[in-house]
Amino acid sequence: MQKGAENIEFTEITPQADIAADRHGARAKCLQRLVRMDLPLPRTVALSFDAVRRIAQGTLPDVAALMSVFGAAPLVSVRPSSENQDWGGPASILNIGMNDSRHAALCSTHGETAANALYLRFIQAYAVHVARLDPDMFEPEAPSRDALRAALDAYAEETDDPFPQDPGRQLLEVLRSMARAWEGTTARLLRQAKGAPAEAGLGMLVQAMVLGVGPGESGSGVIQFVDSVTGQRRIVGRYLSQSQGRDAISAREGALFLTRDPRGAALEDRCPDLVARLRRYGDTCRLNLREEMRIDFTIEAGRLWVLDALRVPRSARGAVRMAVMLADEGIIPREEALCRIEPRAVSELLHSQVDPTGPRHVIAHGIAASPGAATGRLVFGSAAAQASAARGEPCILVRRETTPEDIRGMHAAAGVMTERGGMTSHAAVIARGLGVPCVVGISDMRLNRRDGVLITAGGHKLHEGDIVTLDGTSGQVLLGPVKMLEPALDDAFQALMGWAEEACDIGVRANADTPADAQMARRFGADGIGLCRTEHMFFEADRLTVMHEMIFADRAQDRASVLARLLPMQRADFKRLFEIMQGLPVCIRLFDPPLHEFLPQSREGVRDLAEALGMPVSDVQRRVQALSEFNPMLGMRGVRLGITIPEIYDMQARAIFEATIEASRQGDPVVPEIMIPLVSAMREVELVKTRIDSLAAAVRTERGVDFDYRLGVMVETPRAALRAGDIVQHAAFLSFGTNDLTQMTYGLSRDDAGRFMGSYVKQGVFAEDPFHILDAEGVGELLRIGAERGREARPGVTLSICGEHGGNAESIAFCRAAGFDYVSCSPFRVPVARLAAAQLALGEQVHADRGGADEQPLALRS
Ligand code: PEP
Ligand code: MG
């Protein structure tokens, strides 16, 4: 039925009515489906996005015509209906049409308590949402005649007008205020943050009220058939009976039934038919809407009505189980189950999380650098972290910023927080690799190590030993312990990941430096190791001393003898990696950081080192000074070190080749990939390649065993990207290191960006932190140029990205479009990347199947 009133059209929801989610909203479409399934819905009328937009702009709907759909003196509700339930909308308003005379009539038909409750609820909602009065003045109260009088008086006093009595005017004002609320800036920003387009529309539904009062069983409630947190099948809900009080609805030992309220018989005992029908409706909704739904119902004088059905709200783990169960039961295809899960939500399953339903006392904020949450005692140094771990006490390590010296402390800590730093600073990269929650760039706290106190902007003074909870998912620091949700790597998660692997058409490797990382990479289904940062292997206590000796060796022969001691250690490392990754590629990056990173900065550390090496403190100090640089990240590191002190790369290449021979003895032949970091010129590659080739030849001859290997280049300087055509002549693969490439393209220190990044993003200088989300325009342009020039000069060259961006959906989309072979990210991000890649592949498949006619992702087509 279409009626026109000042050109504002409305459509009654019937099985045949022309209702569409992209014109009337998802709720309107859902209600039409419920009607088609023969669920007992009260009469409902839908207003389209266009109608609501025009109401917001001032066009008046013909409310008399609208009201007349519902018969004489109706009571109605108005509910919002946006295209996607998750985008939210203004609050629903019930009992429109209540006024003094209706109240008097209801007092005689339904009793005063029921009449007071209905009228009071409407006045409160109208005052707060329509007249925009202070909510504190209209706090929900027990529905007495006095409370009603007080609410009416408060309304009149605040607005200088009595509470409107004309139902038409009430409806008009409700429609107008809801339409305007949707157009407001705050509402727009909120929904845009949830992924809604700027111009997203709002539909509205006007529905006849079913009061849930009257003789016989009367009341209202909600019921759902799965648990929102776990996703397991069980009945959950609540029901408020007019005569019996509140029934809790739950399941016991898997059986579906409604629990008995201590104050009376359970609804199931009182009205078994109604409860059986609710269950049936639940099944019908699930099968037909192909989704777990929460049903909003009312019972009026023994008659059951369904008012609404909404997607069950769900945690990340709940969402995974629900999708997998629906697919397992053949209700939705697996592809659709995959597309229903937000890739970011998967990372929540891999780590402990702060329970979102519990209270939080936030004392500081920073950049959420590594997801998950941990509670522990504060420690302000790595030695204290190790001591705490030795006592079996979880601790949160606080540093101004971390350096390689802190690695052991980070290993020992349950969480890491730093005052400085950004998404690719040392603490962030290492913590993500370890899977440890981490918050960096917490500029609203000051660590005063001398006085042993951490001071927050809010004036909290925390000392070592105080307990905090670090939430690396939200970037918050919370006071004290909080309720946690444990990781959920259950069967549903494993099933989903298996399906993602099948659908995925780009490789996903892991950045893994140690055997523990490699094991994690395998566990999460990585296609290999895309980046092994070998320097991390030198930070083990026994190796650091040898490394120091190497740095302090003045003559080449002294250096050679120290490196000979490091050789078996590295060989064992690589052999272990090859064994764990059996059959999968392992890409080992040669030594990258500046040597001074291995030297102590503090006077104490220098003294300890002098003692360990048996040298005068002054000699150690001189060496530290000699190695220090103004811009170490742009100084003597990467291939520059490899060319100036070639013995280090020689030792590493030999260790790789010898480990290759040993690991190949037990299993498939290993073909190691060796990667040269920080290249900017072809000649660098030529020099290193010549030495590595001759070392390979030497090892082959010494051992009498043949083996293959692949030599590649890490493209992480802008010049390497621009000159990829020359460089690739000596490289079987190019792997883009987007951390350094972003740093150098922007001229922005990855370790210091945290200080101002928040303010830059807030002011719109950068749309996002470029160390977090790949800058597709600038850095991306270099990636495209590098890939094109590399591929042109060497067709078939393997292309990949191994910076921290590798795990993000946006970068994966970029890499797929640019024809890259794989992305590589920290092991804990492999499942996230895998799911994102699978969704992109499935989305493209759907697009191709439809001849490119439909841009809508699979998830929205249900
Ligand atoms: C990079 O620069 O992107 C990279 C992966 O190397 P690192 O973070 O070790 O400098
Ligand atoms: Mg780098």
**Residue 539 contacts residue 404 (beta carbons within 8 Å):** yes
Lowest mean per-residue pLDDT among 98-112, 537-551, 623-637: 537-551
CA dihedral 495, 498, 499, 505 (to 10 degrees): 160
Higher pLDDT, 596 or 57: 57
Q: Which pair of tokens denotes residue 616?
A: 């005068």
Report the pLDDT averaged over residues 496-504.
Answer: 96
Helix axes 541-552, 617-627, angle to 10 degrees: 80
Supply the pLDDT for residue 265.
Answer: 57
Residue 857, pLDDT > 70, answer: no
Residues in contact with 714: Cβ distance below 8 Å, sequence separation at least 6, in sequence order: 589, 638, 675, 676, 677, 678, 679, 720, 734, 735, 736, 737, 802
Pocket test for ligand 1, best of 637, 639, 714 (most atoms within 8 A of CB): 714
Residue pointed to by tokens 């804990």: 828
Supply the pLDDT for residue 853.
Answer: 45
* CA 342 remoteness from chain centre: 8
Supply the pLDDT for residue 557.
Answer: 85
> From the CA of 424, which ligand is nearest?
1
Confidence of residue 850 (pLDDT cuts 50, 70, 90): low
Tell whether ligand 1 has an atom less than 6 A from the beta carbon of residue 433. Answer: no
- Taking the C-alpha atoms of residue 397 and residue 417, their distance in angstroms, rounded to an integer, is 6
> Three-state secondary structure along 523-534?
HCCCCCEEEEEH
Q: What is the pLDDT of residues 211-220, one digit of tens each?
A: 888 788 888 8
Nearest CA to ligand 1 atom 9: 533
CA dihedral 784, 790, 793, 794 (to 10 degrees): -130
> What percent of the chain shows pLDDT beyond 90?
59
Helix axes 646-666, 556-581, angle to 10 degrees: 30
Phi, psi of 432 (to 5 degrees): -60, -40
> From the CA of 825, which ligand is nearest?
1
Q: What is the pLDDT of residues 17-62, one digit of tens each?
A: 999 999 999 999 999 999 999 999 999 999 999 999 999 999 988 9
Question: Pairing mode, if any, of strands 415-418 and 219-226?
Answer: unpaired
Residue 255, pLDDT > 80, answer: no
Pocket test for ligand 1, best of 425, 529, 533, 801 (most atoms within 8 A of CB): 533
Indicate the SS3 state at residue 826. coil
- Taking the C-alpha atoms of residue 173 and residue 70, their distance in angstroms, rounded to an integer, is 18
The CA-CA-CA angle for residues 745, 751, 757, to 5°, reads: 75
Tell whether ligand 1 has an atom less than 6 A from the beta carbon of residue 716. Answer: yes
- Taking the C-alpha atoms of residue 796 and residue 448, their distance in angstroms, rounded to an integer, is 54
Residue 249, pLDDT > 60, answer: no
CA of 857 relative to ligand 1 center, distance in Å: 33
- Taking the C-alpha atoms of residue 361 and residue 356, their distance in angstroms, rounded to an integer, is 12
CA dihedral 253, 254, 256, 260 (to 10 degrees): 20
**Residue 356 contacts residue 313 (beta carbons within 8 Å):** no
Pocket test for ligand 1, best of 640, 802, 829 (most atoms within 8 A of CB): 802
Nearest of 820, 818, 824 to residue 798 by alpha carbon: 820
Higher pLDDT, 239 or 699: 699
Q: What is the mean pLDDT of the chain?
A: 89
Report the pLDDT averaged over residues 779-805.
Answer: 97
Nearest of 376, 371, 440, 443 to residue 413 by alpha carbon: 376
Pocket test for ligand 1, best of 402, 716, 800 (most atoms within 8 A of CB): 716
Confidence of residue 608 (pLDDT cuts 50, 70, 90): confident
Residue pointed to by tokens 């979102």: 356
Supply the pLDDT for residue 5.
Answer: 46
Report the pLDDT averaged over residues 789-806.
Answer: 96
Tell whether ligand 1 has an atom less than 6 A from the beta carbon of residue 533. Answer: yes
Helix H or strand E encompassing 463: strand 461-463
Higher pLDDT, 258 or 695: 695
Supply the pLDDT for residue 779.
Answer: 97
Tell whether ligand 1 has an atom less than 6 A from the beta carbon of residue 221. Answer: no
Higher pLDDT, 433 or 500: 500
- Taking the C-alpha atoms of residue 412 and residue 397, their distance in angstroms, rounded to an integer, is 9
Report the pLDDT averaged over residues 304-325.
Answer: 93
Number of H helices, E strands in the chain: 33, 33
Residue 241, pLDDT > 70, answer: yes
- Taking the C-alpha atoms of residue 15 and residue 23, their distance in angstroms, rounded to an integer, is 17
Report the pLDDT averaged over residues 721-744.
Answer: 97
Q: What is the pLDDT of residues 262-306, one digit of tens each?
A: 444 577 778 889 989 999 999 999 999 999 999 999 999 899 999
**Residue 534 contacts residue 589 (beta carbons within 8 Å):** yes
The CA-CA-CA angle for residues 673, 513, 647, to 5°, reads: 60
Question: Pairing mode, if any, of strands 93-96 and 76-82?
Answer: antiparallel
Tell whether ligand 1 has an atom less than 6 A from the beta carbon of residue 739. Answer: yes
Confidence of residue 859 (pLDDT cuts 50, 70, 90): very low
**Residue 655 contacts residue 567 (beta carbons within 8 Å):** yes
CA of 596 relative to ligand 2 center, distance in Å: 17
Q: Which pair of tokens denotes residue 840?
A: 């992109």
Lowest mean per-residue pLDDT among 141-155, 185-199, 370-384: 185-199
Q: Which pair of tokens denotes residue 198?
A: 């700027």
CA of 573 relative to ligand 1 center, distance in Å: 20
Nearest CA to ligand 1 atom 5: 803
- Taking the C-alpha atoms of residue 552 and residue 600, their distance in angstroms, rounded to an integer, is 13
**Residue 411 contacts residue 390 (beta carbons within 8 Å):** no
Length of the chain counted residue by residue:
862
Confidence of residue 718 (pLDDT cuts 50, 70, 90): very high
Supply the pLDDT for residue 355.
Answer: 86
Q: Which amino acid is at 93?
A: I
- Taking the C-alpha atoms of residue 281 and residue 295, their distance in angstroms, rounded to an integer, is 8
Helix axes 603-613, 541-552, angle to 10 degrees: 80
CA of 740 relative to ligand 2 center, distance in Å: 5
Tell whether ligand 1 has an atom less than 6 A from the beta carbon of residue 485. Answer: no
Tell whether ligand 1 has an atom less than 6 A from the beta carbon of residue 443. Answer: no
Confidence of residue 529 (pLDDT cuts 50, 70, 90): very high
Confidence of residue 3 (pLDDT cuts 50, 70, 90): very low
Nearest of 640, 629, 530, 632 to residue 581 by alpha carbon: 530
Nearest of 354, 343, 351, 345 to residue 316 by alpha carbon: 345
- Taking the C-alpha atoms of residue 811 and residue 773, their distance in angstroms, rounded to an integer, is 7
Q: Which pair of tokens denotes residue 537?
A: 């292997």
Tell whether ligand 1 has an atom less than 6 A from the beta carbon of residue 742. Answer: no
Residue 244, pLDDT > 70, answer: no
**Residue 271 contacts residue 188 (beta carbons within 8 Å):** no
Residue 475, pLDDT > 60, answer: yes
- Taking the C-alpha atoms of residue 56 and residue 7, their distance in angstroms, rounded to an integer, is 14
**Residue 509 contacts residue 526 (beta carbons within 8 Å):** yes
- Exposure string of 737-768, with b = 16+ CB inside 10 Å and e = fewer, is bbbbbbbbbbebebbebbbebbebeeeeebee
Report the pLDDT averaged over residues 824-839.
Answer: 94
> From the CA of 678, which ligand is nearest?
2
Q: Which pair of tokens denotes residue 68?
A: 């007349």
Nearest of 170, 236, 247, 183 to residue 209 by alpha carbon: 170
CA of 601 relative to ligand 1 center, distance in Å: 23
Phi, psi of 258 (to 5 degrees): -100, 130
Q: Which pair of tokens denotes residue 605?
A: 């550390």
Tell whether ligand 1 has an atom less than 6 A from the beta carbon of residue 826. Answer: no
Q: What is the pLDDT of residues 641-670, one digit of tens each?
A: 999 999 999 999 999 999 999 999 988 899
Confidence of residue 358 (pLDDT cuts 50, 70, 90): confident
* Residues with catalytic function: 426, 802
CA of 781 relative to ligand 1 center, distance in Å: 18
CB-neighbour burial class of residue 198 (10 A; exposed 0-12, middle 13-18, buried 19+): exposed
Nearest CA to ligand 1 atom 3: 737
Confidence of residue 245 (pLDDT cuts 50, 70, 90): low
Supply the pLDDT for residue 243.
Answer: 66
The secondary structure of the chain in percent helix, strand, coil, rounded to multiples of 5, reads 50, 20, 35
Helix axes 682-703, 646-666, angle to 10 degrees: 50
Tell whether ligand 1 has an atom less than 6 A from the beta carbon of residue 802. Answer: yes
**Residue 685 contacts residue 679 (beta carbons within 8 Å):** yes
- Taking the C-alpha atoms of residue 220 and residue 845, their distance in angstroms, rounded to an integer, is 45
